[in-house]
Each structure stands twice: as structure tokens, then as C-alpha cells.
Amino acid sequence: MNKDNLRKIIALRHELHQYPEISGHESATKRRIMNFIETHTRLAVIDCGKWFYASRYVEGTKAIAFRADMDALPMDESISLPYASQNPGISHKCGHDGHCAALCGLALELDALPAKRSVYLIFQHEEEIGRGARECVSILRERSVNEIYAFHNWSGFPEGSIVVREGVCQYASAGITLSFHGKPSHASEPEKGINPAYVIAELVNDIRALGDEVLCAIVNIDVGGKNFGISPGEGSISLTVRAEHESDMRRAFNGIISRAEELATREGMTLTKTASDYFTDTSSDSHCVKRVRAAAKSLGLQVIDMAEALRASEDFGIYTKMIPGAIFYIGNGENYPAIHTAEYDFNDNILETAVDMFRGICAGI
């Protein structure tokens, strides 16, 4: 990678890190990235509202796309950085600032590459809540895109290594809040009320009995308050259901809802259901994975085959349900802090690797 371009995207990454925005509010982030590409490249930049794409069109060629996500997490910045988050309660603890900087690096490098095929660079919103790809995916048909690629930084693998897996590489998941509406009473007369705590406890035990193919994490239980004179009539449980295959996840998800409805009816309560953060499983096409391997080999990078799919979800699967594509992972380091933790910051040492991989895939190496 051109070293001046590398300096530019490191500076951009730090700027994005300073001003993070959560899902659905990435407007300033989008504008910063658009300005960078418009200032430093000759690519066309198309504003699509919450997201945008940059492109180099070559008539009569097969189109390829690359995707980066823009949103940050609702977490405080708790480590000392010269470019620490200036937005309280929000920080880039998943590395999307690095993903965007790397794709901007490809934008810079495209100017020096022969124009052999059309290239589209998708800068996507709302990945963390599973919504963004569902809106951005329209570009694939509109621009007749044939293949799509993305990367994610991942800790636990050697720094700069390329990690791949054919087929499912990240689990499907969905969140739901089940709210039970019973009847409050004086705590001295609990039999005159309908306290949802008991059905929630029963539901928790049922969830624990789910098979090994499905993972369920209870993320919140809320029943009543610390008023010892009141037996509450309202309560809710929030949980995430995940499985390697979307069909298994949906089966368990619907089963939990059915059980909650059964318990509510039995006890004379009503039930409100609120679903959120729905992710399909993410799969990589075997041909596209071969192209990732070839690019890594040409760069002399270590390639690691991931034995099992990652349990964490990723909405890139929306794209690969429509056209062939692949997501690959670049190692942060075997002992590097994990994403979504307070100690994490994107590893700038892998930015050049990410850009070189994108460029190699784009060039068809």
C-alpha cells in the first residue's frame, strides 16, 4: 500500500474514533467519510440517505462490491487514547472505524489500479442492530453486482493473519422482550393479584432445557420494584436466541414465544412481544473464499481455516443470501483485547493488510 495513503487512513480512523455515533445516528460519520473520498479520489459518491456508496464504473464488466459498517457501540471510552471518544457513552469498541478507514484506503488505491471492472464501496449504517444491510442490499440488483466482500478484525488469531471459513461463518440471532401483564396486589394478599415473577421463573427454567444446537442468553429480567408492600403485576424478560443455522434459531425463537403465550394464558395474564436485532446466519461462498485465499497467498500472509462458525452475529449475511460473497477475518493478535470490551481499540497495524487484501481481491489475483 502507498505509505502516504496509509498515513491518511490512520488519521481518518482516529478522527472517526473521536466522534462515534450509534446505530441509526451515523450522519456525521457518513459525512466525514464522504468528504474524505470526494477530497482524495476521483470516485463517484452517491448519497443514499442513511448510507452511501462510492464507485468506479467500467461499462461491460462484472461488478464487485466491498462493504464497511459505520456504527459504534453504546459504551464508554475507558482507556486513555490521544484520539479518545468525545461523545459520552459511545465508542468504537467493535472496530467499525477501522473497517471504514480500510475501505477508504481501497478508494485511494483504486486510482492507481487498472480499470478492469466496476467497483462499488458500500458504507453501511446500523450493522450492530441488524438493520443496515437490509436497506443497502438494493444496490446489488440495481448495479448488477456479481460478488461482495467484507472483513472483520478479530482477536485471538495472530496479528495480520487471514482467517476464512466456507459456508456458515457467523451465527444467526434475534432478540426479544416478553412483557407479562398481570395484576398487582398488596404484598400481604398476593393471592388477590397475578404476579408475573413466577411464570418468568418457569420460562427461565424452560429456556435452560433447550438443546445444544441453540444458545439463549437472558440479558434482562425486570419485575416490580423494591417496594415490600406491593406484589407486582408487571414483569418482562429480554433474551437473545442464536444458532449456527437460521432455521434452528427461528424454531427455538418461535418455541419460546409459544411457551410464553401458554404460560400467560394459563395464569390469566396478557403478553406483549417486542422483537429486535434480527440477524440471519452469515455464509461465505466457496469460490469467493478461494479468491480471498489467493489474495492472501500473493501477499505472503498466513491463512487460517476457522474450524467452527463464530457465535457472534453479523448482518453481512443479508448480502450473501442474494449473491456470492465472502467475509474474512484479520487477526488482531492472539492476546489482543476482544471486541465489545472496554479494553479494545482497533489495531492500526492491520489497516494496511486489510487494504492490500481488498486490492488483491479487486484485481482478481
Tens-place pLDDT, residues 74-108 = 999 999 999 999 999 999 999 999 999 999 999 99
Q: What's the CATH code, domain 172-278?
A: 3.30.70.360
333 in helix, strand or coil?
strand
Helix (H, G, I), strand (E, B) or coil at 352: helix
**pLDDT for the residue 287:** 97
DSSP category for residue 261: H
319 CB neighbour count, 10 Å cutoff: 26
pLDDT at residue 114 in the model: 81
Q: What cell numbers appear for 110 in the block?
A: 483504486
Q: Cα(306)–Cα(171) distance, rounded to whole angstroms?
A: 14
**pLDDT of residue 68 exceeding 80:** yes
Superfamily designation of domain 3-169+281-363: Zn peptidases (3.40.630.10)
Give residue limits of the domains in the chain: 3-169+281-363, 172-278
Q: How confident is the model at residue 211 (pLDDT cuts 50, 70, 90)?
A: low
What pLDDT does residue 213 have? 73
Share of the chain above pLDDT 90, in %: 93
Residue 154 has pLDDT above 80, yes or no: yes
- DSSP class of residue 28 equals H
93, HSE (Cβ side, Cα atoms, 13 Å): 19
Whole-number mean pLDDT of the chain? 96
CATH fold match for the domains 3-169+281-363 and 172-278: no
C-alpha angle 68-293-61 in degrees, rounded to nearest 5: 65
Task: Quote the pLDDT of residue 354.
Answer: 98
State the Cα–Cα distance between residues 192 and 173, nearest whole angstrom: 39
Q: How far apart are CA 48 and CA 67, in angstroms?
A: 15
Q: What is the pTM of this model?
A: 0.92
Cβ-defined contacts of 133-138 (< 8 Å, 24+): 133/67, 133/315, 133/316, 133/317, 133/318, 133/319, 134/315, 134/318, 135/48, 135/50, 135/51, 136/48, 136/51, 136/53, 136/67, 136/319, 137/318, 137/319, 137/322
